[in-house]
């Protein structure tokens, strides 16, 4: 969600998902997590519920501030496996999410996960779907430890990656303009083939966040 | 729409209108029927629209790709528009004259158009199946198809991946699929199976041959372009649907993936980009194979796939993490190093003959093995030549003597043995112990060069007996024994009593063998049909897998029934240190559990058999127990016997818990769950509680609810319990109008009234 916020603030269209079966937040002990359903519970409901349970505990462990941030970013957590790719995102609830502008078509060009097992789930799920849309999607993983500090750093790194990818995509697009028809162009390569090299450059700048990538299909 | 009615002046103005039209269609899919014809007209530049500018064309290509892949439009609607859009595709794909390859400025548009073509192809195919006379449409589609296929090898990789996806789509369309329901042709997946054999435009054999050829080209990418991670991952990720839906080509795909080596790039310099690409290709391959295993765990290639995944992971670890990376060799590796395997035909530096070891012979009688041993290496001394098959030994020996042993060395070795033999013969003859026959050195037996050096512990009589058995043809020895005339009746020494550990070990081994036999039976009878009634194998006295399974269950359940007490189990569970401390019945039960779960889809019937036996035995034991309890009460003063243990509930709960790891939310999972809980001989609150607990995974809520509602309807004794469980599930989501709510409203009206009253209160807080 930190990355969602940072990407949306930078003006990129963003949708964010979880890949587990339930939303699990730390509870009073390791064995008693707070469990919520995906797609049906809003961050606001979660915030209120935990606030009523034990405001001191959940403020101290950072859960309440996190939920507060999240409820200002989007309505509630969505689950990747339940996402119907290509179904327009035009409801009022979806339009109010940060970074909703540009996601109306219900598809994305890039998927970034923050944990290797999430990347595995996403690639596996896309295989299960059988690529009905024939639309390529670059799936990245950037390994970020799940805590507040690393999330901030990781968010910046993801923003950097998105920036470089976007730059390459814009270059490819701009060549399509009529005014570019006759120009030879310095780099005669398209966007997709540059992706692994862009990621490799990025990896050299962020060596502590091991990355991985594949080209999958929606 | 507006775009058509009022021709715009500038491209940007036109674009703004197109954006608006798209938004309208996205918000209301029914509007597509008005938007698409207008869009096609604009993109073809039909009057009154002006000729589209490049920007408009790029935008239009994106729009077409999005529209034809949209899940919001029905296949029939898309099919109708697809035919009308074919001229646009052809127009956009046609390159300017004298241009062989898409210019970079057109890549983006070309990619989108090829994506749209891939989406449209099956739809046009179905149109042609239904309209065999529409030659014009098929001609246009074929022209588009060959245009795209031509680009497959020459374009920029970004375009090539789209072409490859198109190829995979063609293969999926032009190979036979499964007709799910012949009565509802609209629901069927588009495949070659739908084409009548005498179709004039698309004769199935030609199309299938084309598909096979194209599949080869796509899979060829894995071999030819193994270094291009973009192409490789695009091909692999696109095969997910194909390998599942097309049984005829699945094996070819799997074999190609198994033969693909993602580590070939390691030969080039290991910079960050290469490392990343290797890792990405390896992970993609692993996930593809793991996904396949999840889908078809019984696949004939499953074992190979599993091994391949492990190997890939290991290789990645070795190569990329550098854990086992060897440093570069310092010495020249020209094959001339004597410690290495040597290159044939190379000039080897001459080497002094290795000094032969001459271990001192121990005093006293020695064996032939000792006599011929000419090495000091203690690791080589006890080597038993019997393990080398004679034919192999003969071939190796000839080769060794001819090429590898210098005559000097051989002569030296022979002389060593000769001198030893001479010194031995000059030693005073050792008188053997009474009755202990010396192996005759004159008998030149091949086996003689191996003589285990041990002191026999048997007595003389037994030794003679053994000699009789071992060497009945040895006339000399026979004579010797007969001449002594002391052959007595042979007595086998009494074996020492077995220890408890030995008994347990043998019992465990027997259990393992029973399951092995069961698996063999399972494999051999997999195909045969199950016969019922008087023909059932068990009635005829034959053993089949079901009868054998029941036997194993009874071995687990019955032998100790009535003998064991609950206390024993309590202590046993409290202090289990190793496997042997677990009661034997529980070990078998554990194995039964594993056996069923290893193929739970098909073995759920076995689970029912098991639990029925378990319940039956438990009932019988408890009946007996209550009877004894009553009699002891009558006598008074007697110590009450300890109650027998309860296995049934414990193992049903355990089974459900383990099953929860595997159970999904699909229809077949539901069938299995319903069958299981409806056939269980006894249900109680805890079991149903555990069943309801399965619904904690939201994927399974529907199937668990359905199963419980089935119990309410068809198993009256469990009705109230099932309703209680249903209540619990309903409480989790509180959907006021689901099927659970309906049932509860009619059967538990009071509870529902109270619950539904509470909900609004919560919301207002």
- For residue range A62-121, what is the model confidence (pLDDT) as tens digits? 899 999 999 999 999 999 999 999 899 988 888 889 999 889 889 999 999 999 999 999
Strand partners, A140: A112, A213
As a dihedral over the C-alpha atoms of residue B27, residue B31, residue B37, residue B40, rounded to 10 degrees, the angle is 0
Kindly list the residues from chain B whose CB atom is less than 8 angstroms away from the CB atom of residue A104.
23, 26
- For residue range A184-205, what is the model confidence (pLDDT) as tens digits? 333 456 789 899 999 999 999 9
A113 phi, psi to nearest 5 deg: -105, 160
- For residue range B317-371, what is the model confidence (pLDDT) as tens digits? 888 775 434 444 444 444 444 555 545 554 444 444 455 556 667 667 777 777 8
Beta-carbon separation of B165 and A177 below 8 A: no
Of B670, B689, B676, B686, residue with least CA distance to B729: B689
Beta-carbon separation of A135 and B115 below 8 A: yes
B158 touches chain A (CB under 8 A): yes
Kindly list the residues from chain A whose CB atom is less than 8 angstroms away from the CB atom of residue B156.
189-190, 193
d(C-alpha B64, C-alpha B543), whole Å: 64
| Closest-CA distance of chain B to residue A28, Å | 20
Query: What DSSP line would sit under B644-681, residue for residue?
Result: PP--HHHHHHHHHHHHHHH--SSHHHHHHHHHHHHH-S
**B104 closest CB neighbour out of A131, A188, A217:** A188
- The ranges assigned to domains in chain A are 2-13+79-217, 23-71
H helix runs in B95-134, sequence order: 104-130
CA distances from A175 to A12, A181, A188, B152 (A): 21, 7, 10, 22
Beta-carbon separation of A189 and B279 below 8 A: no
Kindly list the residues from chain B whose CB atom is less than 8 angstroms away from the CB atom of residue A38.
698
For the entire predicted model, the pTM comes to: 0.57
pLDDT higher than threshold 50 for residue B676: yes
If you average pLDDT over residues B182-201, what whole number do you get?
A: 82
Long-range pairs, A95-99, Cβ under 8 A, ≥24: A97/A15, A97/A73, A98/A4, A98/A5, A98/A8, A98/A9, A98/A14, A98/A72, A98/A73, A98/A74, A99/A4, A99/A7, A99/A8, A99/A12, A99/A13, A99/A14, A99/A15
pLDDT cut 90: percent of chain B above it: 25
Tell the burial category of B11 from Cβ atoms under 10 Å away from its Cβ (0-12, 13-18, 19+).
middle
Q: Is the domain defined by A2-13+79-217 classed in CATH 1.10.3470.10?
A: no
B53 touches chain A (CB under 8 A): yes
What is the pLDDT confidence band of residue B392, given thresholds at 50, 70 and 90?
confident
The pLDDT of residue B485 is: 55
d(C-alpha B615, C-alpha B680), whole Å: 9
pLDDT cut 70: percent of chain B above it: 78
Across the beta sheet with A110-113, what order do the strands follow? A110-113, A136-142, A211-217
Beta-carbon separation of A215 and B161 below 8 A: yes
Q: Of A160-169, B255-264, B365-374, B593-602, where does mean pLDDT reach its minimum?
A: B365-374
**A131 closest CB neighbour out of B238, B276, B287:** B238
The pLDDT of residue B298 is: 86
Kindly list the residues from chain B whose CB atom is less than 8 angstroms away from the CB atom of residue A107.
66
d(C-alpha B730, C-alpha B695), whole Å: 10
d(C-alpha A196, C-alpha B79), whole Å: 37
Secondary structure of chain A in HEC code, one letter for each residue: CHHHHHHHHCCCCCCCCECCCCEEECCCCCCCCEEECCCCCCHHHHHHHHHHHCHHHHHHCCHHHHHHHHHCCCCCCCEHHHCCCCCCCCCHHHHCCCCCCCCCCCCCCEEEECCHHHHHHHHHHHHHHCCCCCCEEEEEEECCCCCHHHHHHHHHHHHHHHHHHHHHHHHHHHCCCHHHCCCCCCCCCCHHHHHHHHHHHHHHHCCCCCEEEEEEEC
Beta-carbon separation of B54 and A178 below 8 A: yes
Tell the burial category of B507 from Cβ atoms under 10 Å away from its Cβ (0-12, 13-18, 19+).
middle
d(C-alpha A80, C-alpha A39), whole Å: 10
Beta-carbon separation of A196 and B229 below 8 A: yes
Strands (E), B39-93: none
The pLDDT of residue B551 is: 86
H helix runs in B296-366, sequence order: 302-320
b/e per residue B537-553 (b: at least 16 CB within 10 A): beeeeeebbbebbbebb
**B161 closest CB neighbour out of A21, A180, A192:** A192
Best probe of the B interface among A131, A132, A161, by most B CBs < 10 A, is A131
DSSP letter, residue B715: -
b/e per residue B587-619 (b: at least 16 CB within 10 A): bbbbbbbebbeeebeebbbbbbbbbbbbbebbe
| Closest-CA distance of chain B to residue A65, Å | 22
Quick check: bond before B478 cis, omega within 30? no
Q: How far is CA A102 from the centre of its chain?
A: 14
DSSP letter, residue B267: G
Other beta carbons less than 10 A from residue B526's beta carbon: 10
d(C-alpha B626, C-alpha B261), whole Å: 68
- For residue range B211-248, what is the model confidence (pLDDT) as tens digits? 999 999 999 988 887 778 999 999 999 999 899 889 88
- For residue range B719-743, what is the model confidence (pLDDT) as tens digits? 999 999 998 888 887 887 888 888 8
The pLDDT of residue A175 is: 65
Q: Return the axis-axis angle of helices B648-662 and B685-693, rounded to nearest 10°.
A: 10
User: If you compute the radius of gyration of chain B from its CA atoms, what whole number of angstroms results?
Assistant: 40
| Closest-CA distance of chain B to residue A181, Å | 6
List, as ranges, residues 241-270 from B with C-beta within 8 Å of A: 241, 244-245
| Closest-CA distance of chain B to residue A109, Å | 12
The pLDDT of residue A202 is: 94
**Dihedral sign (CA B290, B296, B298, B302):** negative
Tell me what the pLDDT averaged over chain A comes to.
Answer: 88
Strand partners, A212: A141
């Amino acid at each position: 969600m930190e990355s969602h916020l940072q990407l949306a603030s930078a003006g990129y269209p963003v949708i964010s998902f979880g890949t587990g079966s339930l939303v699990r937040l730390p509870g009073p002990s390791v064995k008693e997590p707070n469990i919520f359903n995906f797609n049906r519970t809003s961050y606001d409901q979660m915030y209120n519920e935990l606030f009523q349970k034990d405001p001191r505990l959940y403020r101290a462990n950072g859960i309440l501030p996190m939920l507060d941030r999240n409820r200002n970013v989007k309505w509630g957590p969505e689950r990747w496996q339940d996402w119907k790719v290509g179904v327009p995102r035009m409801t009022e609830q979806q339009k109010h999410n940060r970074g909703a502008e540009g996601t109306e078509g219900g598809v994305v060009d890039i998927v970034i996960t923050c944990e290797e097992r999430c990347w595995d789930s996403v690639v596996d799920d896309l295989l299960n779907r059988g690529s009905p849309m024939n639309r390529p999607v670059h799936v990245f993983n950037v390994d970020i430890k799940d805590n507040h500090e690393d999330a901030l750093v990781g968010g910046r790194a993801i923003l950097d990656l998105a920036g470089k990818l976007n730059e390459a995509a814009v270059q490819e697009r701009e060549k399509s303009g009529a005014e570019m028809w006759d120009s030879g162009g310095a780099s005669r390569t398209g966007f997709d083939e540059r992706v692994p090299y862009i990621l490799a450059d990025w990896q050299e700048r962020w060596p502590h966040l091991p990355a991985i990538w594949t080209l999958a299909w929606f | 729409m507006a775009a058509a009615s009022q021709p715009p002046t500038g491209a940007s103005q036109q674009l703004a209108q197109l954006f608006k039209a798209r938004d309208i269609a996205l918000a209301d899919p029914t509007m597509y029927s008005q938007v698409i014809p207008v869009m096609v007209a604009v993109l073809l530049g039909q009057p009154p629209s002006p000729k589209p500018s490049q920007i408009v064309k790029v935008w239009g290509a994106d729009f077409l790709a999005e529209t034809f892949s949209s899940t919001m439009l029905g296949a029939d609607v898309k099919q109708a528009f697809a035919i009308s859009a074919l001229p646009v595709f052809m127009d956009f794909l046609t390159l300017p004259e004298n241009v062989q390859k898409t210019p970079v400025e057109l890549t983006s548009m070309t990619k989108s158009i090829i994506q749209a073509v891939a989406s449209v192809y099956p739809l046009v195919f179905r149109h042609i199946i239904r309209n065999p006379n529409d030659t014009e449409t098929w001609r246009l589609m074929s022209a588009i198809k060959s245009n795209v296929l031509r680009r497959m090898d020459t374009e920029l990789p970004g375009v090539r991946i789209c072409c490859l996806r198109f190829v995979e789509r063609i293969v999926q369309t032009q190979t036979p699929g499964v007709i799910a329901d012949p009565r509802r042709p609209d629901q069927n997946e588009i495949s070659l199976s739908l084409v009548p054999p005498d179709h004039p435009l698309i004769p199935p054999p030609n199309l299938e041959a084309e598909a096979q050829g194209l599949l080869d080209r796509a899979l060829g990418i894995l071999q030819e372009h193994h270094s291009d991670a973009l192409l490789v991952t695009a091909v692999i990720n696109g095969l997910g649907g194909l390998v599942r839906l097309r049984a005829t080509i699945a094996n070819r795909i799997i074999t190609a993936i198994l033969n693909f080596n993602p580590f070939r790039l390691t030969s080039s310099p290991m910079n960050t980009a290469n490392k990343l690409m290797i890792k990405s290709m390896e992970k993609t391959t692993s996930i593809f194979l793991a996904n396949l295993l999840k889908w078809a765990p019984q696949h004939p290639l499953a074992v190979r796939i599993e091994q391949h995944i492990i190997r890939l992971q290991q290789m990645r670890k070795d190569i990329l993490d550098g854990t086992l990376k060897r440093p570069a060799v310092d010495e020249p590796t020209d094959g001339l190093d004597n410690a290495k395997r040597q290159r044939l035909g190379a000039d080897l530096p001459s080497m002094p003959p290795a000094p032969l070891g001459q271990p001192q012979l121990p005093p006293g009688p020695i064996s032939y093995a000792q006599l011929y041993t000419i090495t000091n290496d203690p690791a080589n001394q006890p080597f038993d030549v019997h393990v080398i098959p004679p034919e192999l030994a003969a071939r190796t020996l000839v080769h060794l003597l001819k090429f590898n042993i210098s005559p000097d060395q051989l002569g030296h070795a022979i002389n060593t043995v000769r001198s030893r033999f001479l010194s031995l013969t000059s030693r005073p003859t050792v008188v053997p112990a009474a009755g202990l026959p010396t192996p005759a050195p004159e008998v030149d037996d091949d086996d003689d060069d191996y003589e285990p050096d041990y002191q026999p512990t048997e007595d003389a009589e037994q030794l003679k007996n053994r000699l009789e058995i071992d060497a009945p043809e040895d006339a000399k020895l026979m004579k010797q024994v007969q001449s002594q005339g002391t052959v007595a009746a042979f007595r086998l020494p009494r074996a020492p009593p077995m220890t408890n550990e030995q008994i347990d070990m043998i019992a465990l081994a027997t259990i393992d063998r029973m399951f092995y036999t069961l698996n063999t039976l399972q494999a051999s009878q997999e195909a045969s049909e199950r016969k019922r009634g008087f023909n059932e194998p068990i009635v005829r006295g034959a053993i089949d897998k079901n009868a054998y399974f029941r036997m194993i269950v009874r071995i687990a359940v019955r032998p100790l029934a009535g003998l064991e007490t609950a206390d024993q189990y309590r202590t046993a569970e409290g202090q289990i240190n190793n496997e042997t401390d677990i009661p034997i019945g529980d070990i078998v039960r554990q194995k039964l559990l594993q056996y069923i779960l290893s193929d739970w889809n098909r073995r759920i019937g076995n689970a029912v058999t098991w639990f029925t036996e378990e319940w039956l035995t438990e009932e019988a034991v408890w009946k007996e127990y209550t009877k004894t309890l009553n009699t002891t009460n009558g006598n008074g003063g007697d110590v009450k016997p300890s109650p027998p243990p309860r296995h049934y509930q414990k193992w049903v709960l355990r089974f459900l818990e383990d099953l929860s790891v595997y159970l999904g939310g699909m229809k077949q999972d539901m069938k299995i769950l319903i069958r299981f809980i409806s056939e269980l001989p006894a249900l109680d609150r805890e079991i149903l509680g555990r069943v309801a607990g399965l619904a904690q995974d939201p994927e399974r809520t529907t199937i668990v609810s359905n199963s419980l509602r089935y119990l309410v309807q068809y198993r009256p004794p469990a009705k109230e319990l099932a309703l209680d469980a249903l209540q619990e599930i309903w409480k989790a989501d509180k959907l006021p109008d689901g099927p659970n709510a309906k049932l509860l409203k009619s059967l538990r009206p009071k509870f529902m009234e109270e619950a539904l009253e509470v909900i609004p209160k919560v919301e207002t807080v």
